[in-house]
Structure 1
Amino acid sequence: MDHIPSLPASYKGNTELLVRVDLFTGFVVVKANASRTAQTVVEAYEEAVFRHFGASEAIRHDRDPGFMSDFFKAFSKLMGQRQRATLAYRPEGADGHKSD
């Protein structure tokens, strides 16, 4: 999972996108958000991913504070999913593909 930040505000005030890519199928889920706090990330994940597909076995993300917070870690533990934090700004770690 990752964020696309600093977008022009929508009519609902959303300025960020939360992006989730399934590494097995390549299926992409995108959810607009107004911020990237841990609570917002959890709510977006619950609404856009969990309700439709259930809990992921593991979540790979960069070390964004929204993903590294105790709140998000507790949520992941409750859902029974592992967290895999990659180094920031490493495209080959974020999407599972190696850049040439």
Structure 2
Amino acid sequence: MTALTHTGVIAVFTRTMPTHGRCPYAAAGRVRKHRVAFIAGRTRIHLDRVEDLGDFIELEVAIDDPADIDGATSEAQSIMATLGIESSQLVSTAYVDLAKDSR
């Protein structure tokens, strides 16, 4: 298993109308987080400590073939079971949106 760490401010961007020669994205918000990332097989396991929100785990299973979505889902569920994560604990909201909601 490989481990990587990262600390910094993450800007989340949303798409706006294209402009002539300028960035077509506008900042939707910012969060500050510290991330430790592990790689297990084809799954990246991100351990995030997000300022003012708490601790989170993100699983990212890489797939080469969109038809393998069932295999990727099964792999993620297996890792969740190993870590003791239940589906009721899943959060589908971006950190920046959670931060806005907590204010």
Tell me the TM-score normalized by structure 2: 0.30
More helix by share: 1
More strand by share: 2
Tell me the TM-score normalized by structure 1: 0.31
